[in-house]
Structure 1
Amino acid sequence: MDTASPRTDYDVAAIMGGLYGDGIIACKGAFSPEWVGRLKQDIEGLFAEARRSPRGALERGPNRFYVEVHPERLSGFVDIVSHPWVVAVCAAVLGPDYKIVEAGFDIPFPGAMHQPWHRDFPAPPETLVGRRLNSLAFNITTVDVTEEIGPFEIAPGTQWDDLADGDPMFPDKSHYARYEARAQRKLPKVGDISARSALAIHRGTANRSSQSRPVFVLGVDAPDGRNADKHDLQVTQAYWDTLPEAVRCHLRCRIVPELENIEQAHTIEGLRMGVTM
């Protein structure tokens, strides 16, 4: 594994405290710049392919796209899912039988606008009532993020907010002042990886630079998580046979003779218009 951080002694209390508190944590320098460079090349090639396919790239706002991908099309997929920090975070928060359900990437291009504050899917009863997180999203930036390039912004602690009085994913604008008072913009560097609750209220900000900001996304569920329904993770039998058992036991996917076009079901219509600020 081409990593810059070989540690395995990650503190469970710090992991739990961060994700149950602010809702986001990070591992600095998890991968080398060379490794991230290869990931960026993979993403750029896959995005070009996706734009040529019907519904291959989903709009998440003006000049902003999400693409779900086949794991074997990424040269570093096994490195990501077997990184000691990723494994430690998944096991600590989701339990030893966690399941990998999503692989994709998000790209805000120059001209991308502020997204409305949102969460990625409605909060399940396990979180709202049981006060337990049963899903996580990992992100790997492929460029050094600056204020101009449209950083990710999160309102810490809002993974516990109950939006039952309105849209379960998009809070009413009357709540925006609270989120903006809490807001933290994240400026990760090449090689960093983060883990967050996708239920924490967040948004992508405007990209006022001249470059894109490709970000890899890995979605992971606890055994009772239901996000696999929104995705179509698939691998060929030949690729499956090459995977370490420690990866196969967590990968929830279809095994197919040949890769099929992914019918993306995780459309978030409320993000398509974006907002100006």
Structure 2
Amino acid sequence: MVEENFKKTAAATYDIAKIMGGLYGDGFIALKGAFSREWVQQLDEDIWLLYQDALKRPGGAVGRGPKRHYVEIHPEDIRGFVDLATHPWVTAVCEAVLGPDYKIVEIGFDIPNPGAVDQPWHRDFPDPEDTIVGRRLNSLAFNLTTVDVAEDMGPFEIAPGTQWDLPDNFEHGMFPAKDSYPRYQALAQRKMPKMGDISTRSALTIHRGTANYSDKPRPALVLGVDAPTANNAERHDLQITRAYFETLPEYLKQHLTYRLVDKLEPIYQAHTIEGLMMGEA
């Protein structure tokens, strides 16, 4: 009954048609002011401690281009995980697009440091059959900045509607041919969220991180969520200690793909994206 009431509350709060239209149309939607600035400052503190630790471990921080890293973490590594994973907008979006049996499969953060260069236009992974043949989205990536993003900080750039592009001449199914870049650049929208804003997108929508000309890094938390037909959990290792698991709301337990452990193990990241390492040529 608690879960049923939770779902009804989330669904009633947000316009499901608008959510579906945004993600099946542009491939990107956002909610302003989802969290307080104080909550985000706490998240930022957690991320910087985790980043410093990850840089010391082999496979702890993987490159996503020059001066740019991605770090996969454990849910209990950040104090606000439950707040994020059970936010009514997050749950409403997941229910609407991925169905009632969606699963959280990944949490991590991306940091474009000063000196990061333009990434090549790309997808985060190849199109699944669900999208190519069935024309359905079966995964989503949520992003939450820990800073107020400015134009010179390497803002995220997305080409709306390109989640439906067939991967003809895409290298590794992810990197479109460079002769298609003018089209993406003509479509491109730069996103400059503020602390507390949250967005979600199809990771198939063609996008890139842009050059960070500032003297400030731009951390962004990433939450990956799958429909039952997706297999992105295979790329990740979502560990939860038994003690932490017992503290989680029952609703959330049902929406996690996880490995129960007595003690958290360091994550050696398997999902590298080699095509991003050199930046845009």
When the two structures are superposed, what TM-score results if normalisation uses the length of structure 2?
A: 0.95
Give the superposition deviation at 1:166: 3.4
Residues in 2 aligned to 1:165 and 1:218: alpha-carbon distance in whole angstroms: 29
Deviation (angstroms), 1:92: 0.1
Match of 2:197 among 192, 197, 206: 192
Give the distance between the partners of 1:165 and 1:30, measured in 2 at CA.
39
Number of the residue aligned with 1:138: 142
- The letter of the residue matching 2:129 is P
Aligned positions, number = 271
2:71 pairs with one of 67, 71, 78: 67
2:89 maps to 1:85:
yes
Show structure 1 runs of 4+ deviating over 3 A: none
Which residue of structure 1 lines up, in the alignment, with residue 167 of structure 2? 163
Q: Which amino acid aligns with 1:78?
A: V
Residue in structure 2 matched with residue 148 of structure 1 by the alignment: 152
Residue number in structure 1 paired with 2:53: 49
How much does 1:97 deviate? 0.5
- Partners in 2 of 1:257 and 1:96 — Cα distance? 29
Show structure 1 runs of 5+ residues with no match.
Answer: 1-5
- The answer to whether 1:230 aligns with 2:230 is no
What per-residue deviation string (whole Å, max 9, x for no partner) do you get for residues 145-171 of structure 1?
111000000000000011133321000
Identity of aligned residues (%): 66
2:3 maps to none
In the alignment, the residues of structure 2 paired with residue 211 and residue 246 of structure 1 have an alpha-carbon distance, to the nearest angstrom, of 38
Q: Give runs of aligned pairs for residues 189-228 of structure 1, distance below 5 A.
A: 189-228=194-233
| CA-to-aligned-CA distance 1:3-26 (integer Å, 9 cap, x gap) | xxx985101000000000000000
- One-letter amino acid of the structure 1 residue matched with residue 128 of structure 2: P
Distance in 2 separating the partners of 1:24 and 1:166: 22
Q: Are the counterparts in 1 of residues 169 and 176 from structure 2 also a CA contact under 8 Å?
A: no
SS in 2 for 1:42: helix
> What SS class does the counterpart of residue 149 from structure 1 fall into?
coil
Answer with 113-122 or 255-264: which moved more: 255-264
After TM superposition, give the deviation of residue 76 of structure 1 in Å.
Answer: 0.2
What SS class does the counterpart of residue 152 from structure 2 fall into?
helix
Q: How does 1:223-262 map to 2 (within 5 A)?
A: 223-262=228-267
**How far off is 1:261 after superposition?**
1.2
Give the structure 2 partner of residue 32 of structure 1: 36
RMSD: 1.1
Tell me the distance in 1 between the aligned counterparts of 2:226 and 2:44.
25
